[in-house]
Structure 1
Amino acid sequence: MTYRSRMLGAAGVCALAVLSTNPAYAAGTTAGSTITNNVTVAFQVGGINQTGTSASDTLTVDRKVNLTVAEVGTTTTQVSPGQTSAVTAFTVTNTSNAVLDFALVAAQQTGGAGAHANTDTFDTSNVRIFRDSNGSNSYDSGDAQITYLDELAADGSATVFVVSDVPLSLATGSVAVFTLTATARAGGGTGSQGAALVQTSGGNTAGMDTVFADGSGATDGLRDAAFSAKDDYTVLAAALSATKTSRVISDPVNGTTNPKMIPGATIEYCIAVSNAAGSAAATSVAVNDPLPANLTFDAGFGVKTNGSVVSGVCQADGTGVGDFTSNTVTGTIASVAASETKTLVFRASIN
């Protein structure tokens, strides 16, 4: 901060007046601005007004560097095993009194506490950072991939998305923790990242000094021109199990009364697919069952999918339709919710 002044040149009865003011912002007066105060002095000699005098003082406002980073929302980001371009969002706010660039780093944690009373257990891949370029507040094709925020205005805020791919073989409750760190840099002009900032040491200088005023974030310290915040992905997977049962419907000797599994008997097969409690819904569940050579598929009964199990007994009440091609029974169960069981049922005769 610099200042210039001109000494008052008269004595007497003084009248002081401040003749200039500056607008107030949350970030404060813009760094590099000059603030000038002017004063006039009027006086009399022998009751006669004399020619007054004046003075002024001009100072230069120093650069106060401050910022915050915060996750968007207050809960973990739910993802699926094998999900590509999973997204977690942060806001970066420039509370400095200058336009600044902000270098961005999204670091994955290795073990330890997450952001939401959980523990890191896995890493994602293909980690990228995007800026919400179109103000949609959601990640989409219009967003630009970045490594730094360019020319973020004082009191300005930007939403950034950390985007990565989730491994396939993960169980429900697996957690990946991210820390997003923003580090303030000098404004480098549009399209160019500015130089690293250095805090002015020692006494006041003739130029625009730099003062770090930021707080400590998740992993950074006080007054280091950086701020960090955590967020995490939590996996919600489906946990499917399948059982296959059979029962004899009829035989050529006994009919439907106490039938036995003899050649010519009709056998009903049930494939029951269950999803564990607390799991994600499984969709498009494809079932494939090649028939042994000593069975003949019952085309009249067909393949029924999306059926139910009542009191542990498989029901032939499915409304979906499967297929039998190349000696293989196939069918798709539309969805199996958590704690739900759905079935595929078909019949065949013993050769």
Structure 2
Amino acid sequence: MTRTSIWLGAVSLCALSALAATPASAQSTQTAAGSSITNTVSMNYQVGGVTQTTQTASDTFTVDRKVNLTVAELGTTTTQVSPGQTAVVTTFQVTNTSNATLDFALVVTQQAGGAGAHANTDTFDVSNVRIFVDTNGNGVYDAGTDTQVTYLDEIAADTTRTVFVLADVPLGRATGDVAAVTLTATGREGGAAGATGAALVQTAGANTSGMDTVFADGAGSTDASRDASYSAKDDYTVLAAALTLTKVSRIVSDPFNGTTNPKMIPGSVVEYCIAVRNAAGGASATNVALSDVLPTTTTYSSAYGILLNGTMTGSTCNLDGASGGSYGSGTVSGTLPSLTAGDARTLVFRVTVN
């Protein structure tokens, strides 16, 4: 079996294991490292008009190993995330542009400030960072299908693998916060399927008769050229809701003045308006749950009920909400189903002063 067929067998074994569902890659047009190239010259001549025996001379050399790779962010925009979101995904492609089958060790690092990948600035770190390979080759992260890895195994020449970096976003982050991550792939010896190969060593000195190794990679985002590594950045940008909560009251009537210049005396009816505002430029908030424990010196007005999801004009509550919410155990509750950026919604109810 030639050296080339041994490498192909190793790739096939790998495909049957960790990357069984990955589509086959196009055959490389590069001459495989370790191949022998033989060139033969023939010489024909005559002596005294008689054709003599043909003579030949041959030269054979071994093709050396060119180590080259690229890592590229898949897509051209940042990954938009929410505070507290888990398993957010950035996607990269790792391509073996060498002329040999190699393993690639994978490492994700986070920045401490500085420029991200999309004209922004890193301001926080994500947590629970891990790497998955696109096992079924569909280009989309599939939980339970794609395999968590620390390296890519037996990647043939001119073959690309899609890699997903997953992370969790801390709660409390604000709109515009950025977490930049860098994926670095480092070439390793192909070795055997199912185990990461040894570190590559570039051949020093003059060309030898065997298979030498030459590092031919360019400089990535954070690594130098000709170091058998390549790196690329991507980032997560937070889009959060910025909610503010206010509560105001107004006197509606009292037992002696009615609705004409009423005063806050026992028996007076007081209207409460709880207002929630979502600042412009952020994300929509959903299922905004409000809970108001009433003072024991007031009595909830069941006759008026609760107006939910009303609007505001300036700082004034409009009494245009729909009946909803609930009252029980001294507590008024209600949920605003959705609050878009720049919008304000209300919950209105009344009590009687004891």
**TM-score (normalizing by structure 2):** 0.87
User: How far is the alpha carbon of 1:226 from its aligned partner?
Assistant: 0.5
Give the aligned partner of residue 292 of structure 1: 295
Quick check: 2:305–2:323 contact (8 Å CA) kept in 1? Answer: no
Q: Among the aligned pairs, what percent are the same residue?
A: 65
- Map Cα deviations across residues 179-211 of structure 1 (whole Å, 9 max, x no partner): 111100011221110010000111111221100
Q: Which residue of 1 aligns with 2:19?
A: none
Q: 1:174 aligns with which of 154, 173, 177?
A: 177
After superposition, residues 332-343 of structure 1 pair within 5 angstroms as 332-343=335-346
Does the 8 Å contact 1:108/1:176 carry over to 2? yes
- Structure 1: distance between partners of 2:228 and 2:336: 55
The whole-number CA distance in structure 2 between the counterparts of 1:275 and 1:320 is 22
Quote the Cα distance in structure 1 between the aligned partners of 2:190 and 2:106. 15
Residue type of the alignment partner of 2:116: G
Partner of 2:102: 100
Residue 230 of structure 1 corresponds to which residue in structure 2?
233
Q: 1:218 aligns with which of 215, 218, 221?
A: 221
Name whichever of 45-54 and 146-155 sits farther off.
Answer: 45-54
2:282 aligned with 1:279 = yes
Deviation at 1:47, TM superposition (A): 4.0
Task: Give 1:11-90 correspondences, 5 Å limit.
Answer: 28-90=30-92
Is residue 144 from structure 1 mapped to residue 113 from structure 2 by the alignment? no
Q: Structure 1: which amino acid aligns with 2:68?
A: N
The residue identity in structure 2 corresponding to 1:272 is A
Residue of 301, 306, 324 corresponding to 2:304: 301
Q: Residue 104 of structure 1: SS of its match in structure 2?
A: strand
Task: Tell whether the 8 Å contact from 1:26 to 1:95 is kept in structure 2 after alignment.
Answer: no
Choose the corresponding residue for 2:201, options 198, 203, 213: 198
| Secondary structure of the corresponding residue to residue 186 of structure 2 | strand
Opposite residue 229 of structure 2, the aligned amino acid is A
The residue identity in structure 2 corresponding to 1:69 is V
Q: Is the 8 A contact 2:61 2:209 kept in 1?
A: no
Residue by residue over 1:49-80, the C-alpha shift from the partner in whole angstroms, topping out at 9 and shown as x without a partner, is: 44323333322211000001111212222221
Distance 1:35 1:207 in 2: 12
Preserved CA contact (<8 Å) 2:96 2:160: yes
Letter matched to residue 332 of structure 1: T
Helix, strand or coil: the match of 1:344?
strand
Pick from 130, 133, 137: which aligns with 2:132?
130
CA contact (8 A) 1:130 1:144 kept: yes
User: What aligned pairs does 1:100-119 form with structure 2 within 5 A after superposition?
Assistant: 100-119=102-121
Paired residue for 1:17?
none
Q: Choose 186-195 or 251-260, whichever is displaced more.
A: 251-260
Q: Could you tell me how far apart the structure 2 residues matched to 1:201 and 1:166 are?
A: 46
Instruction: Give a deviation string over 1:91-111, Cα, whole Å, max 9, x none.
Output: 111100111000011011112
Distance across 2 between alignment mates of 1:273 and 1:287: 9
Shift of residue 48, structure 1, vs aligned partner: 4.2
2:331 to 314, 328, 335: 328
* SS of residue matched to 1:121: coil
CA distance in 1, matches of 2:310, 2:192: 64
Gaps of 5+ in 2: 1-25
Please state if 1:249 is matched with 2:264: no
Report which stretch shifted further, 122-131 or 318-327.
318-327
The alpha-carbon deviation at position 269 of structure 1 amounts to 1.3
In structure 1, stretches of 5+ residues that fail to align are 1-23
User: Which residue of the partner structure matches residue 349 of structure 1?
Assistant: 352
Residue 333 of structure 2 aligns to a residue whose secondary structure is: strand
1:316 to 297, 316, 319: 319
Deviating more after overlay: 38-47 vs 313-322: 38-47
Moved more, 296-305 or 240-249: 296-305
Task: Name the count of aligned residue pairs.
Answer: 328
Deviation at 1:257, TM superposition (A): 4.3
Moved more, 75-84 or 141-150: 75-84
SS of match in other structure, 2:264 = coil
| Bigger Rg over Cα | 1
Any idea what SS the aligned residue of 2:292 has?
Answer: strand
Contact 1:130 1:143 in 2 (8 A): yes
Per-residue CA distance 1:98-141 (angstroms, 9 max, x = gap)? 11000011011112222222222212221111111122322221
Pair 1:267-2:270 in alignment:
yes
